[in-house]
Amino acid sequence: MSHPKLFIPGPTEIAPEVLQAQTRPMLGHRSKDFADLFYGILPRLKQVLLTGQHVYITASSGTGLQEAAVRNAVRPGRKVLNMVAGAFGDRWNKVSVSNGKEAVRVDIPWGQPIRPEDVHAALAAGGFDAVTIVHNETSTGVMSDVGAIARLVHKKHPDVLILVDAVSSASGVRIPFDEWGLDMLLTSSQKAFALPPGLAFAAVSDRMLARAQNVPNRGWYFDLLMLEKYLAAGKTTPATPAVSLLNALDVQLDRILAEGLEARWARHEASMKLAHAWARERGFELFPSSGYESRTVTCIANVRSVDVPAMIAFARQKGMIIGNGYGNLKNKTFRIAHMGELGPDDLRALFVVLDQFLA
Ligand SMILES: *Cc1c(COP(=O)(O)O)cnc(C)c1O
């Protein structure tokens, strides 16, 4: 089926066999067939998220798990630190505040990464239960060094839980959850995982579950202890799971592991290099501060002042959809996603089209 190819940072392209898996007949979610599907998925999801601890799957988008993270990690009278370097860090701050958490927000200029010393400086005030960090700020194309942040936090603030939004990077970039000692990593199905929207995945540490025991009012739908209780009892999920999407996930996990995680990460990096070279050779600049460019989405500074909406419309006519800049960055930047199913060959085809426009 011919369709415009998505070079936007979500939803992303989906392999035909993954789409097809959603048409399988329905299963009762208390049936053995469903339990086999669900418990068969979890070990492979752990492999992809690089954890031997806990993984959870929710029928929600990734934002639901931003909510789960703060609701399960932050006790009354204690604070959460929200590092905000773009639109999704801003959202996590709003999610924290609207869930009644005492939130301290640190703003970082858009285009800059979240730096370990900034996290340390803010935590030094004391009284924090957790810090939220967006690994790959999709709005700016900046990828922060979560490993370095985690090292410093563990050293200086060992009781602070490290909550990471990896919505647009997980599976496309190596994020060793256990090795870095992260406490919760959340992601969505429709970005680098290359699935339809509607599922969210989390890796969760033992430490985070222990903390949740001491947090009242965790809510119901996103209570990690409830999810854990059902899983441990062999009862899958408390509420009705998104069966069709789980069928798609089942197929996609096999595809991801068949490609190999190392190969998948390398493919994303190769795409990034190609996008950088194209942008620079055409007289553009990269929006992110040097050394912190995302490996899944390239945010290009429109220093040539090209007519971005016209370029997007031109590409659309040729069957390719790229992204404008986010919010205030609209027309000042544009974004080319290279995550999930997309690779260097797709980008080469896109750049032929964009070159036609620029000529
Ligand atoms: C897309 C995105 C989100 C929002 O995810 P939803 O699945 O739409 O809720 C959050 N954080 C980042 C970094 C994103 O790219």
Q: In order along the chain (359 residues), what is the average pLDDT of each group of 10 residues?
A: 92 98 96 98 98 98 98 98 98 98 98 98 98 98 98 98 99 98 98 98 98 98 98 97 98 98 98 98 98 98 98 98 97 98 98 98
Position in ligand 1 atom list of the atom nearest CA 188: 7
Determine the pLDDT at residue 293. Answer: 98
- Axis-axis angle for helices 116-123, 146-156 (nearest 10): 30
299 and 286 Cβ atoms separated by less than 8 Å: yes
**Residue 186 corresponds to which tokens in the numbers above?**
């959340």
In the chain, residues under CATH classification 3.40.640.10 are 16-257
Cα distance between residue 118 and residue 110, in whole Å: 15
Position of tokens 């993270």? 69
Position in ligand 1 atom list of the atom nearest CA 134: 13
Give the Å distance between the CA of 176 and the centre of ligand 1.
Answer: 20
Q: Does domain 16-257 have CATH number 3.60.21.10?
A: no
What angle (nearest 5°) sits at the alpha carbon of residue 53, between those of residues 251 and 32?
45
- pTM > 0.75: yes or no: yes
Give the Å distance between the CA of 117 and the centre of ligand 1.
Answer: 25
Best residue among 90, 133, 163, 165 to mutate for probing ligand 1, ranked by most atoms within 8 Å of CB? 165
74 and 95 Cβ atoms separated by less than 8 Å: no
Position of tokens 């991801």? 256
- Homologous superfamily (CATH) of 5-12+261-358 is Aspartate Aminotransferase, domain 1 (3.90.1150.10)
Give the number of C-alpha atoms closer than 13 A to the C-alpha of residue 11, restricted to the C-beta side: 13
| Residue nearest atom 5 in ligand 1 by C-alpha distance | 62
Cα distance between residue 204 and residue 184, in whole Å: 5
The dihedral region occupied by 108, where left means phi > 0, alpha psi between -120 and 50, and beta the remainder, is: beta
Give the Å distance between the CA of 63 and the centre of ligand 1.
Answer: 6
Give the Å distance between the CA of 87 and the centre of ligand 1.
Answer: 9
Cα distance between residue 357 and residue 117, in whole Å: 43
Give the Å distance between the CA of 32 and the centre of ligand 1.
Answer: 33
Identify the bridge partners of residue 286 per DSSP, sorted by sequence position: 300
Determine the pLDDT at residue 1. Answer: 61
Q: How would you classify the pairing of strands 184-188 and 161-165?
A: parallel
Determine the pLDDT at residue 111. Answer: 98
In the chain, residues under CATH classification 3.90.1150.10 are 5-12+261-358
Residues having CB closer than 6 A to ligand 1 are: 9-10, 61-63, 88, 134, 136, 138, 165, 167-168, 188
Give the Å distance between the CA of 99 and the centre of ligand 1.
Answer: 18
Residue 336 has φ and ψ, to the nearest 5°, of -120, 115
Position in ligand 1 atom list of the atom nearest CA 190: 7
Determine the pLDDT at residue 89. Answer: 98
Position in ligand 1 atom list of the atom nearest CA 64: 9
Give the Å distance between the CA of 294 and the centre of ligand 1.
Answer: 15
Cα distance between residue 116 and residue 205, in whole Å: 21
| Residue nearest atom 14 in ligand 1 by C-alpha distance | 167
Q: Which residues contact 85 (CB under 8 A, 6 or more apart)?
A: 107, 108, 109, 110, 112, 113, 114, 134, 137, 140, 142, 144
- Axis-axis angle for helices 344-358, 308-317 (nearest 10): 120
123 and 160 Cβ atoms separated by less than 8 Å: yes
Position in ligand 1 atom list of the atom nearest CA 168: 15
Give the Å distance between the CA of 167 and the centre of ligand 1.
Answer: 5
CA distances from 83 to 46, 162, 189, 191, 203 (A): 27, 11, 24, 22, 20
